[in-house]
Amino acid sequence: GSVGLITYMRTDSTRISEEARAAAKEQISKTYGNEYYENRYYKKSSEAQDAHEGIRPTYIYITPESIKDSLTTDQYKLYRLIYNRFLASQMKSAIFDTLAVTIDANEYNFKANGQSIKFKGFMTLYVEGTDEKEDEIGQIPLLEVAQEVKKEKIESKQSFTEPPPRYTEASLVKALEEKDIGRPSTYSPTITTILARHYIEKEAKQLVPTELGKVVNKLLTENFPDIINVEFTAKIEEVADGKENWKQMISEFYGPFEKELEKVEKELEHVELEEEVSDVPCEKCGRMMVVKYGRYGKFLACPGYPECKNVKPYIE
């Protein structure tokens, strides 16, 4: 029959019950050996809502592989992630042998770093992924002090300072967490909403602002600077957590806000977005069609509207 596979998922708590700890210890010792187990407690964030345990498998004996046939592909991947990360949180740290080498070549010094894994520990089950490109640390052969090494080739490379990378979904969630904006249950809907409203677009893994997004952001930050800022948003979280008197806060906020809103509505000029012109001519009037946004994404429309109402699908 049906069974709940995980505990309550709308929480940012890191607390784990003693019963769950005991089950994790038994599973880790049985599967990997006693040397892999470590009873770990994690520091609780002062902002975390701790009414529930951290997200974990309900029954540790139900492994992802044992129920794979009963789950969809996405369900299986998600359950495996939760299962493995929970077990990994109760395992010992990995141990690496690291090596740093300095090579003297006449008046130049070359440095190299290498490492090899000695004990995998929690990395047997879980390795944190990243969207950012990282420098790889490879292995270095055994060397001795004052040993001569042979040069195979020298590659010269010039590097330039690059701007910070754009947010990905993962790095945006991390930034929201660090600034105490929202809750785990609101991160995904927030990103989904700004994508659906075409304020941002996905290019590879990066989130890139659209022309519409830039205009909306400019209008809001210029006209409502007291509201469109991180400190205000974080303060609202305190109201939601019961740390502030919400009636007093709403009373102090809404009067000035209502007046500001009326003022902006009167003074705000009509904004025309810069249209993206395609290379597709309108077969009815000959104008070059422009890219528009609708409920279901991009489409092509004739700029001669309302005289010419021709529209076509937008094909990447």
- Residues near 76 by beta carbon (within 8 Å), at least 6 away in sequence: 64, 67, 68
Residue type, position 60, single letter: I
pLDDT in tens, 213-258: 898 898 888 888 888 888 887 777 677 666 677 788 888 888 888 9
Mean pLDDT of 144-171: 88
pLDDT tens digit sequence for 171-203? 999 998 888 787 777 888 999 999 988 899 999
Give just the sign of the alpha carbon dihedral 65, 70, 73, 79: negative
pLDDT value at 306 more than 80: yes
Q: What is the pLDDT of residue 50?
A: 67
Q: Pick the residue with more confidence: 51 or 204?
A: 204
pLDDT at 166: 93
Angle between helix axes 18-31 and 73-88 (nearest 10 degrees) is 90
Residue 265: per-residue pLDDT: 85
For residues 42-62, average pLDDT: 82
Contacts of 77 (CB under 8 A, 6+ apart): none
Contact between 180 and 241 (Cβ < 8 Å): no
Angle at 249 between CA 243 and CA 250, to 5 degrees: 130
How far does CA 210 lie from the centroid of its chain? 19
What is the predicted pLDDT for the residue at 74? 95
Query: What is the percent of the chain where pLDDT is above 90?
Result: 35
Q: What is the pLDDT of residue 251?
A: 86
**pLDDT beyond 70 at 147:** yes
Q: Are strands 108-119 and 95-105 parallel, antiparallel or unpaired?
A: antiparallel
Residue 132 has pLDDT above 70, yes or no: no
Q: What is the mean pLDDT of residues 142-159?
A: 85
Q: How confident is the model at residue 134, as a pLDDT?
A: 59
Given a contact cutoff of 8 angstroms between Cβ atoms, the answer to whether 285 and 308 are in contact is yes
Average pLDDT over residues 110-119: 87
Kindly report the average pLDDT of the chain as a whole number: 86
Q: Which of 53-67, 144-158, 233-247 has the lowest mean pLDDT?
A: 233-247
Residue among 93, 87, 80 at smallest CA distance from 25: 87
| 135 token code pair | 């420098």
> Cα(306)–Cα(36) distance, rounded to whole angstroms?
70
Residues 285-309, mean pLDDT to the nearest whole number? 85
Average pLDDT of 132-151? 76
Note the pLDDT of residue 49. 64
41 is catalytic: no
Residue 89: count other Cβ atoms within 10 Å of its Cβ. Answer: 18
- Tell me how far apart the alpha carbons of residues 60 and 87 are, in angstroms, rounded to a whole number: 9
- Percentage of the chain surpassing pLDDT 70? 93
Whether residue 80 has pLDDT greater than 90:
yes
For 16-47, write each residue's pLDDT tens digit. Answer: 999 999 999 999 999 999 999 999 988 776 66
- Other residues' Cβ atoms within 10 Å of the Cβ of residue 194: 17
